[in-house]
């Protein structure tokens, strides 16, 4: 997979040389290229922004360098559905795991890191870019959100992480939050690892993991349960949890 990132602060993306991302790049699982937007400006000051028409606060990123940058990094033809241009924006649709999974299947992903008040609206029409938001808050620019997208996507690529089952069992991978995890020591300041995790009974451990994941999701993010991909055992456990909740509410 190839990922192109357009930004006015390319040095921020040195963080992509570490951890899972760094190893995936070294192994050739992903080709990440960071492009300085100023390379597509046409004035001696390398200007990427200007005042908004009609007044208003802040500055707006200019359409010409943005469009030219995207056109330059998408020169080669790819079949429909194998490339996406993404503008990181608080106006965008929320980034969710199902979208990450779709992005991970692409041949090329182009991430445009906005800055200032906004990006000239014509950029979207000229490039067909879609907008993605990583949360309901505002950051100084799209660089950190771009890194979030890269990290979320790359870890799903074949061979990017040593244990592929780890990605499959992460929070949100099937619409549920993950269960609690423990490692050595067994005892810490009066807190113990649950006995079932030490039992060696794999069937009991599996059921415990499912129950804890369902409890966490039901308590913290109940809206996820409506679309969660539950197996028969999980549906049975959820029904039990719902029954316990109703009985306690009537006491």
Distances (CA, A) of 1 to 67, 86, 102, 147, 162: 22, 15, 13, 16, 18
> Can you tell me the distance from the alpha carbon of 85 to that of 87, in angstroms, rounded to the nearest whole number?
7
> Which element (helix H / strand E) includes 130?
strand 130-133
Does the active-site annotation cover 38? Answer: no
Does the active-site annotation cover 194? Answer: no
Catalytic, out of 83, 115, 155, 197: 155
Does the active-site annotation cover 220? Answer: no
Tokens coding 217: 């999701």
Catalytic, out of 170, 207, 209, 221: 170
Rg (C-alpha) for the chain, rounded Å, is 23
Tokens coding 86: 């993404």
> Which element (helix H / strand E) includes 32?
strand 31-36
Catalytic, out of 25, 29, 90, 221: 90
Does the active-site annotation cover 164? Answer: no
> Can you tell me the distance from the alpha carbon of 110 to that of 112, in angstroms, rounded to the nearest whole number?
7
Catalytic, out of 64, 68, 101, 117: 117
Q: With contact defined as beta carbons under 8 Å apart, do 87 and 146 qualify? A: no
Q: What is the set of active-site residues?
A: 90, 117, 155, 170
């Amino acid at each position: 997979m190839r990922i192109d990132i357009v930004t006015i602060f390319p040095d921020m993306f040195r963080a992509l040389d570490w951890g899972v991302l760094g190893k995936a790049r070294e192994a050739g699982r992903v080709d990440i290229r960071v492009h300085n937007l100023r390379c597509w400006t046409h004035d001696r000051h390398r200007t990427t922004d200007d005042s908004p028409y009609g007044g208003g606060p802040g500055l707006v990123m200019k359409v010409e360098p943005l469009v030219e940058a995207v056109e330059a990094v998408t020169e080669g033809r790819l079949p429909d559905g194998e490339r996406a241009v993404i503008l990181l924006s608080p106006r965008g649709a929320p980034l969710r795991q199902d979208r990450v999974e779709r992005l991970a299947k692409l041949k090329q992903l182009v991430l445009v890191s906005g800055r200032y008040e906004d990006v000239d609206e014509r950029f979207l029409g000229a490039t067909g870019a879609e907008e993605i938001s990583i949360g309901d808050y505002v950051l100084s620019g799209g660089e950190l959100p771009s890194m979030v997208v890269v990290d979320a996507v790359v870890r799903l690529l074949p061979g990017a992480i040593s244990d592929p089952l780890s990605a499959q069992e992460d929070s949100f991978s099937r619409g549920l939050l993950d269960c609690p995890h423990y490692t050595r020591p067994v005892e810490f300041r009066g807190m113990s690892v649950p006995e079932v995790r030490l039992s060696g009974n794999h069937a009991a451990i599996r059921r415990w993991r499912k129950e804890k994941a369902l409890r966490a999701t039901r308590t913290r993010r109940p809206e996820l349960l409506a679309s969660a991909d539950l197996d028969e055992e999980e549906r049975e456990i959820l029904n039990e949890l719902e029954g316990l909740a109703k009985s306690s509410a009537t006491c």
